[in-house]
Amino acid sequence: MNYQQFYIDGEWVSSSGTETIDVLNPATDEVIDKVSAATTEDVDRAVKAAKKAFPSWSALTVAERASYFKKLKQALKDNLGTLADLMTAELGATTRFSHDVQVTMSINEMEATIRAAETYQFDHYIRDALVTAEPIGVVACISPWNYPLNQIQRKISPALLAGNTVVVKPATETPLTALYFAKLIDEVGFPAGVFNILTGSGSKVGTGIASHPDVDVISFTGSTEVGEKLYAAGSKGIKKIILELGGKSPMLLLPGGSIKTAVKKTLGTIINNQGQSCSALTRLIVPKDDLKAVQEELLAQLKDVKIGDPTLEDTDLGPVVSAKQEETVLGYIAKGKEEGATILTGGNKVDCPGHYIEPTVFVDVKNDMTIAQEEIFGPVLTVIPYESVEEGITISNDTTYGLSGAVVGPDEDEAVAIARKIRTGNVMVNEGAVTADSPFGGYKESGIGHEKGVYGFEDYLNIKAILR
Ligand code: NAP
Ligand code: MG
């Protein structure tokens, strides 16, 4: 496949410029391939194609639009291995995680969104008013590198099923998976202009798409810093904005709760994907009296974590995505030490080629330390003790973020009551886990709007009242 092309108006086309960007494998630092950097002209061409396709695509029935997605879902299944390998090569996630979680999640979530679209009630009456839901127009989809397929799937499935058209800009670190996804979309035979994708830097291409006057919705997943910029960009022309941003999510262990469960759940999010998940439970908040037992359990569960080549079957932890990410994560580890936190385990770069960082646990952490407040996006955990449950809840909520969280306690009803007090969009209780249909979205600086299932679908609709 030629990754140096864009997919615009139903065709693979070359950039009007000549600049290319190397795509690196973080396990080896080798160049895997290169992509083209789009120009302003390319951006304009893609947005115009999406705008032109909108009237006919939005006029189709949901069943007709869903028929394309059923084929696309099958194509994802048929290409699961290829997609997983590509993702592992450019992201560094283990093949196991890419295959069993990343791509599989995309298939399941696409299916859930098809279900949401097919069962959605587009028309209903409020007394004499006919209330109807309609697609909005052209959606700019700007995605991060940590889930290179699913962050795109979560946008284009609801946006297109609702009848909008899209222009996608994937993250510069992971454009190959995105372009391969585009190849599958092309093969399914979606009408020309409905789906368009181009590659290039966020500062140029991302900004270009988001601020294009013919774009009606900006759907962005990424850092809060860039989210703020796009919020401002969207104010010009009053674009609708959907933001899925960062997190610093708490795992609150209640007195008497299963230490094993709390530690296992937390470490899952720190080890899988090298901790590069927006919903990672990066603050483990525990009763002071349990601190020692929690530390012992952390060490026991980390003992057998295997770091290394992400393509090997028994590897648990691969490299972080890039040299830049490695530097950021190591910078936070240094900052943690400087601020007086103690390293229980890890803390170092692994001495080998590639961007490997040991799983790192900080104890003696106070919630106002930088490592407890800022998103590190690497395999780094902070453990924070509390005296009373009230204080545990306060610490959980003492962050500018509000994405995810978890509560583990001996009494499920009590744990649910406490989950209600956590100011985040998702809270898992004990063994509870997210599903393909459950809504996902942030409170506070973690975002605006939702992804997945019916709530994700509704974000791509306008509401009209017809009065007669
Ligand atoms: P990022 O730097 O914010 O970039 C995200 C996307 O925005 C990339 O495609 C990037 O392009 C583009 N971009 C950068 N600057 C831009 C600008 N000025 N205007 C328009 N687009 C711009 O985030 P990242 O480093 O890729 O990903 C990590 C972040 O994403 C973390 O903060 C994480 O929490 C967040 N995240 C959130 C969720 C969620 O659902 N809430 C999910 C996953 C990740 P380039 O790649 O070219 O820079
Ligand atoms: Mg970036």
What secondary structure does DSSP assign to 55-87, as a single string? HHHHHS-HHHHHHHHHHHHHHHHHTHHHHHHHH
Pocket test for ligand 1, best of 151, 278, 399 (most atoms within 8 A of CB): 278
* Angle between helical axes of 104-119 and 150-161 (0-180°, round to 10): 20
Ligand nearest to the CA of 224: 1
Q: Give the amino acid at 287.
A: P
Residues with CB under 6 A from ligand 1: 142-146, 151, 169, 171-172, 201-203, 206-207, 210, 221-223, 226, 229-230, 244-247, 278, 375, 377, 403, 442, 447
Rounded to whole angstroms, the Cα distance separating 351 from 357 reads 9
Contact 127, 153 (CB under 8 A): no
Q: Which run of H or E residues covers position 244?
A: strand 240-244
Q: Which residues contact 118 (CB under 8 A, 6 or more apart)?
A: 62, 63, 66
CA distances to 313, 427, 433 from 453, rounded to whole Å, are 32, 17, 15
Contact 250, 405 (CB under 8 A): yes
Q: Which residues contact 143 (CB under 8 A, 6 or more apart)?
A: 151, 152, 155, 168, 169, 170, 171, 178, 221, 222
Nearest CA to ligand 1 atom 14: 202
326 backbone dihedrals φ, ψ, rounded to 5°: -60, -45
Q: Give the amino acid at 400.
A: T
Pocket test for ligand 1, best of 223, 325, 452 (most atoms within 8 A of CB): 223
For residue 141, indicate whether it is catalytic: no
Catalytic residue among 90, 109, 244, 297: 244
- What is the 3-class SS of 382-398, one letter each residue? EEEEECCHHHHHHHHHC
Q: Is the pTM of this model over 0.85?
A: yes
Closest residue by Cα to residue 275 from 220, 333, 341 = 333
Tens digits of pLDDT across the chain (468 residues): 999 999 999 999 999 999 999 999 999 999 999 999 999 999 999 999 999 999 999 999 999 999 999 999 999 999 999 999 999 999 999 999 999 999 999 999 999 999 999 999 999 999 999 999 999 999 999 999 999 999 999 999 999 999 999 999 999 999 999 999 999 999 999 999 999 999 999 999 999 999 999 999 999 999 999 999 999 999 999 999 999 999 999 999 999 999 999 999 999 999 999 999 999 999 999 999 999 999 999 999 999 999 999 999 999 999 999 999 999 999 999 999 999 999 999 999 999 999 999 999 999 999 999 999 999 999 999 999 999 999 999 999 999 999 999 999 999 999 999 999 999 999 999 999 999 999 999 999 999 999 999 999 999 999 999 998
Ligand nearest to the CA of 223: 1
Contact 209, 137 (CB under 8 A): no
Contact 342, 368 (CB under 8 A): no
Within 10 angstroms of residue 465's Cβ, the number of other Cβ atoms is 10
Catalytic residue among 90, 109, 141, 278: 278
Ligand nearest to the CA of 456: 1
CA of 230 to the centre of ligand 1 (A): 11
